[in-house]
Chains A and B, each alone.
Chain A
Amino acid sequence: MIEQILHSLSLFLPETTLTVFFCAAIIVGLVAGRTSRASLYVALIGIALATWFAIQQAGSSEGIFTGMVVVDPFATFFKLLIGMSAIVILLFSLYSAEVQSTAHRHIEYGSLLLAMTLGMFLMAGSTNLLMMVLAIELTSLSSYVLAGYTREATDSSEASLKYIIYGAVSTGLMLYGVSILFGLTGATDFYNINRALATGSVNATALLVATIMIVAGFGYKISAVPFHFWTPDVYEGAPVTITAFLSVASKAAGFALMMRFFKTCFIDANALGLPAGMWASLQGFEWNKLLAILSVLTMTLGNLVAVWQNNLKRLLAYSSIAHAGYMLMGVVVLSDKGLAAVLIYFIVYLFMNLGAFYVVMLVANKTGSEDIDTYKGLGYRSPLISVAMVVFFISLAGIPPTAGFIGKLFLFAALLDAKWIWLAVVGALNSVISLYYYVRVVRNMFLRDPERNAEPVVFSAPQVVIVLALLIPTILFGLFYSPIVELANASVVMFGMK
């Protein structure tokens, strides 16, 4: 028993590191004085170390703590993704006017980011209903506070409150669904649920109800329609850094958990006669049709509403809803290809979305506004940043030769391979709609003249370096995408599944 726990602990190193640094961030912050940046640096080191330890686990595949959590390539991939975006967010924070204006609360900022990252790491690996709910709660509670971090701004407090209320409702629904599922199968462990379902004695209607309720929880995390209502307000009200973090890492963790839940619980591991990489649902329970509807609603609504937005943060909020819709398409197809496509999309999304948010933050730092009108003539005032923004937007719209195109390419490939043609067509048409609102910003930057004070906007060297660090992969992965595809291919392996 002790040996098992010790062994588990050795594989739990990334999470332990985060916990230790969480405490350290508070203590160091108290010692160094309230206005010091020390906690931010502690958080940066802690997350970097945890990510490093997570990378060291690449290739290992086993369940720890009696099957509560697994360490497998799939989880490692998402830990890497979440860790990387957390590191980028902390770097953003060092240059964010919003975060730096509230220097006396840096301790909370640093430590809560660590806690949130810990929650997401656990979400990436949980294989037990209890662990799943706990991990979601840990992530959510930290993010509620961070969303309202600049509490001097009223919209920030409003954001936080809305977030809590929506979060509480959907987590409540999810818990209810979890309890029904437990009642149906008598198990909390994903693999045991799968075995119980495989016997075929479960009431299909009750299973459907439970699944819909659990999907409400996931949908809230990945901001899928109709569980998205919190997203625009929270994204607008929260500091840009946190908004960017929520839009990438939180979504990634939600997707990781959702994909693992569906694959390990509902996929028939013993189905025969399927082509390699294709899956079959247990009991003929076609939960993927449910997700297909969700996917169409999510991307269409996200894109259509984004067209009307004049605040860049809101625009990106709706765009991120739309992207969740695209990624859901990859889950719908029930194949390893689809899963790999989602992973590829996430790598690409990390760079392009964080990049877009970073430019929004830089511009807001200088002008104090996120309104689309402040971007008028920006192309002539700050060419480099504007060109970077164009590349990020073109990539988000999925036009070659940027990485965003590769993401879309593999999603569509997975869909067409599984003969989900109508869904692919809907997705393709949606990317045309999305171009319109991305180009609206590009138009303001280059086709319009600046309204007033047209002096050049200059950014410091480290800020430009961060932009380039996000820009170069966005272009490079569009031309040479072998590394990301290979990484995604190697990472679709889940513990205990063939």
Chain B
Amino acid sequence: MEFLGIGILTWITFLPIVGMIAVLIVPKENQSGLKWIPLVITGIQVVLAGMIYAGFNKSMAGINTLEGMQFVEKARWIDIQGVPWFGRIVVEYFLGVDGLSISMVLLTALISFIAVIASWNIDKALKGYMAMLLLLDTGMMGVFVALDFFLFYVFWEVMLLPMYFLIGIWGGPRREYAAIKFFLYTLLGSVLMLLAMIALYFSVTVVDPATGEKIYTFNMLAMMDPANYEPGSLLAGVGTYWRYLAYVALFIGFAIKVPIFPFHTWLPDAHVEAPTAISVILAGILLKMGTYGLLRISFPMFPDAANYFVVPLAVLALINIVYGALCAMAQKDFKKLIAYSSISHMGVVLLGMSAMNTQGMVGAVFQMFNHGTITAMLFLIVGVIYDRAHTRDLDAFGGLALTMPKYTGVMTVAFFAALGLPGLSGFISEAFSFLGAFQTHRMITILSTLGIVLTAAYMLWTLQRVFLGQPNEKWAGLPDINGRELFALVPLAVIVIALGVYPSLMIDLMTSSLNHLVEVVKAGGTMAMVP
């Protein structure tokens, strides 16, 4: 699919940059222009994402085959002929979508659009804010469509600086601390990932079809094929020490983003201090990059290590689920509660992944999408109440259901989706994750279900404290949710309900890809067993 000779994935990725330039040109007095440009741009992005959804072929698997990738764009970005001892340096501009990334592309477009709506009442340095938001959008979209590791890494890093500014300038009282903590943590993960990436680069060669010479490559698909590893190179072979080490380096890089215990401490700070729209993006999209990276890069490139470390992964998932839920239960701050619930819910994704079977994987990826929509709703809901009451203390409220009935209605959908009520999307994905994991890690899964109970407990307890009970006199005059806020929340609520009732809308997109991914990882794992 092309427009003006440029592929749709390039459009969807770089459109925000165009918007950013437009925002920078518009004079800063023109407040409405500064809001409408990003809205239109992200709106077009949603339309493009819809077109990708419509044109997506569900039967194509992708993962490690070029033929299985859809909407592929491939061009030489860097091509240095070089000298004999350096080899030829080729970096490709290589984009594509398969069943693993399609849901993330849809999610990114949707959440970015909603984030712009949620940013409507930003008044401090609006121009800079929107420019940073759009730059962030490009980085996020790029991560999900890039199929060249170098390109992936560049997109991954491009997000850091805008996120630093968005938290640091427009955030809450402790914004400086939260912003630098986020920045340093993520960079620590990135540099480890960089080293693993370079090690992969020097281990994988492909034959250049044009000249017939062997060249090193950053092509992710080539890195997934064991036959491409140069004998004697650092990461050649199966189940070697270096491969495990590289896997761990990559894992830490992704784990910080997810975040997986014990790398999670940046998240509550960042979430609490970030403005509403940025919390929505953080929880809705950024966290998914970690798990996406594990599925796109770690698992298929290091199937031996992925199998070797599968139990530790499941244990970490268990810790995330239970520990996150317990922490959430102890919170008095509404936003911090949601932040810890994210840690718990991302644990479910990890548990699904660690199952190493199709149910688990489908559950994991579906949970990534659902968590994106549900947590986005939860953060928007916190934002709504914070804008009115300027406090997020859970004990300060009570009986809001009477003063804000419409708000309470939307909130109920989000809360029940988050605790996994059947009929809402969260239930399906959690059920699949647990179902898959039960076949592989029986005991760990049984313990993990404790998380479900805890989630129900803190969600219902919060519901009770804030919305039910005696109305607090102080908040009697609070206006109910307005049209703009509803406009941000309702589409998400519709998706949550629709996917709860008819999950095939999303699951069908990913099944064949994830089936194939499981095969690839399993095949690599059995190779590791043979000495």
Interface residue ranges, A against B (CB under 8 Å): 275-278, 335-337, 340, 380, 390, 394, 397, 399-401, 405, 408-409, 412-413, 416-417, 419, 421, 424-425, 428-429, 431-432, 435-436, 439, 442-443, 446-447, 480-482, 485-486, 489-490
- Are A428's CB and B194's CB within 8 A? yes
Judged by a CB distance under 8 angstroms, whether B187 is at the interface is yes
Question: Do A276 and B84 form a contact, CB below 8 Å, given A429-B191, A446-B165?
Answer: yes
Smallest beta-carbon distance A306→chain B, Å: 15
For chain B, what secondary structure do more than half of its interface residues adopt (helix, strand, loop), or is it mixed?
helix
Those of B291-328 within 8 Å (CB) of chain A:
none
- Are B179's CB and A394's CB within 8 A? no
Closest A-B pairs by Cβ, 3 of them: A277-B85, A428-B191, A276-B85
Question: Do A416 and B158 form a contact, CB below 8 Å, given A399-B187, A489-B83?
Answer: no
Picked from A416, A447, A485, the residue with its CB within 8 Å of the CB of B199 is A416
Nearest chain A residue, comparing its CB with the CB of B79: A482
In the assembled complex, the Cα of A480 lies from the Cα of B76 at a distance in Å of 11
With A335-B85, A400-B157, A417-B202 known, 7 other A-B pairs at CB within 8 A are: A394-B161, A399-B157, A401-B158, A412-B195, A429-B191, A481-B78, A482-B79
Nearest chain B residue, comparing its CB with the CB of A276: B85
Nearest chain A residue, comparing its CB with the CB of B167: A447
Question: Do A432 and B86 form a contact, CB below 8 Å, given A399-B157, A400-B158?
Answer: no
Judged by a CB distance under 8 angstroms, whether B94 is at the interface is no
- Are B80's CB and A277's CB within 8 A? no
Number of contacts between A and B (CB, 8 Å)? Answer: 99
Contact flags B134-166 to A (C-beta < 8 A → 1, else 0): 000000000000000000011001101100110
Those of B184-213 within 8 Å (CB) of chain A:
184, 187-188, 191-192, 194-195, 198-199, 201-202
Note all chain B residues with C-beta closer than 8 A to A417.
202
Note all chain B residues with C-beta closer than 8 A to A490.
83
Picked from B161, B165, B245, the residue with its CB within 8 Å of the CB of A399 is B161
Q: List 28 A-B contacts (CB under 8 A).
A: A277-B86, A335-B85, A337-B85, A337-B86, A380-B125, A394-B161, A399-B161, A400-B154, A401-B158, A413-B202, A416-B198, A416-B199, A416-B202, A416-B234, A417-B202, A421-B195, A424-B195, A428-B192, A428-B195, A431-B191, A432-B187, A435-B184, A439-B180, A443-B180, A447-B168, A482-B78, A486-B82, A489-B83
Q: Specify which of A397, A435, A481 lies most central, judged by the most chain B CB atoms within 10 Å of its CB.
A: A435
Judged by a CB distance under 8 angstroms, whether B176 is at the interface is yes
Smallest beta-carbon distance B245→chain A, Å: 8
Nearest chain A residue, comparing its CB with the CB of B188: A432
Smallest beta-carbon distance A117→chain B, Å: 30
Question: Do A412 and B84 form a contact, CB below 8 Å, given A400-B157, A419-B234, A432-B187?
Answer: no
In the assembled complex, the Cα of A486 lies from the Cα of B192 at a distance in Å of 27
Contact flags B212-236 to A (C-beta < 8 A → 1, else 0): 0000000000000000000000100
Note all chain B residues with C-beta closer than 8 A to A489.
80, 82-83, 86
Judged by a CB distance under 8 angstroms, whether B288 is at the interface is no
For chain A, what secondary structure do more than half of its interface residues adopt (helix, strand, loop), or is it mixed?
helix
Note all chain A residues with C-beta closer than 8 A to B83.
336, 489-490
Smallest beta-carbon distance B218→chain A, Å: 11
Note all chain A residues with C-beta closer than 8 A to B486.
none
- Are B183's CB and A439's CB within 8 A? yes
Smallest beta-carbon distance A276→chain B, Å: 4
Note all chain B residues with C-beta closer than 8 A to A416.
195, 198-199, 202, 234
Smallest beta-carbon distance B16→chain A, Å: 15
Judged by a CB distance under 8 angstroms, whether B382 is at the interface is no
Nearest chain A residue, comparing its CB with the CB of B127: A383
- Are B165's CB and A336's CB within 8 A? no
In the assembled complex, the Cα of A226 lies from the Cα of B467 at a distance in Å of 65
- Are A480's CB and B191's CB within 8 A? no
- Are A446's CB and B80's CB within 8 A? no
- Are A432's CB and B184's CB within 8 A? yes
Picked from B158, B176, B194, B202, the residue with its CB within 8 Å of the CB of A447 is B176
Note all chain A residues with C-beta closer than 8 A to B175.
447
In the assembled complex, the Cα of A482 lies from the Cα of B245 at a distance in Å of 31
Those of B64-87 within 8 Å (CB) of chain A:
78-86
In the assembled complex, the Cα of A225 lies from the Cα of B84 at a distance in Å of 35
Note all chain A residues with C-beta closer than 8 A to B183.
435, 439
Judged by a CB distance under 8 angstroms, whether B506 is at the interface is no
Note all chain A residues with C-beta closer than 8 A to B201.
413
Smallest beta-carbon distance A138→chain B, Å: 34
